[in-house]
């Protein structure tokens, strides 16, 4: 799938809600499958929102998996349709973040973004089942990033310390040394 990059107006729109009767339709199911495949092909990508592939609908696919520079993360997979964050922990903590829409391959950008360590989310999955779940740690961080995409917000909007911005290659140097 073609990735929508920063500057494209679709990334600044609030995504349309998906009607419950649309969830099981072949077109949406195919989009979910295609988003899974696209995300699997991205080395750093752990989440992908539909606006990032040119569809302004409230859908996000998350696929967290261990990688050479991120060996200790636990596998986590989710499809979030019409997600709403209903509760958060009290404080935000900075964590390194990038975005597939920031530029192709090694042209990416990273920075520290403050996010809540715990969130409660209401959403539908790809089978149309509604969930009310609590997420903690890295999955909570990724979910907040993807929900922001669905609300027209980019991670660069949330960076508090602009001196933390760095390129893909600099981020990877630090990640390999486990400095990040």
Any idea which residues carry the catalytic annotation? 146
Do residues 68 and 86 touch, judged by C-beta distance below 8 A?
no
Separation of alpha carbons 163 and 169, rounded Å:
16
DSSP single-letter state for residue 25 = S
Q: In what order do the strands lie in the sheet with 109-116?
A: 92-98, 109-116, 166-167
Residue 156's nearest CA partner among 105, 100, 97, 103 is: 97
Do residues 121 and 79 touch, judged by C-beta distance below 8 A?
no
* Cβ contacts of 107 within 8 Å, gap of 6 or more: 168
């Amino acid at each position: 799938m073609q990735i929508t990059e920063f500057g494209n107006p679709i990334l600044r729109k609030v995504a349309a809600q998906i009607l419950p009767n649309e969830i099981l339709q072949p077109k949406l199911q195919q989009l979910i499958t295609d988003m899974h495949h696209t995300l699997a092909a991205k080395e750093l990508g752990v989440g992908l929102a539909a606006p990032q592939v040119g569809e302004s609908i409230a859908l996000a696919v998350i696929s967290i998996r261990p990688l050479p520079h991120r060996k200790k993360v636990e596998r986590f997979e989710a499809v979030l349709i019409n997600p709403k964050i209903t509760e958060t922990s009290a404080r935000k903590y900075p964590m390194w973040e990038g975005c597939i829409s920031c530029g192709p391959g090694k042209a990416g950008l990273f920075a520290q973004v403050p996010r809540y360590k715990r969130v409660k989310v209401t959403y539908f999955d790809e089978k149309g089942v509604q969930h009310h779940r609590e997420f903690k740690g890295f999955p909570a961080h990724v979910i907040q990033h993807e929900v922001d995409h669905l609300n027209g917000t980019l991670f660069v909007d949330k960076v508090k310390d602009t001196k933390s911005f760095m390129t893909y290659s600099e981020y990877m140097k630090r990640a390999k040394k486990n400095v990040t």
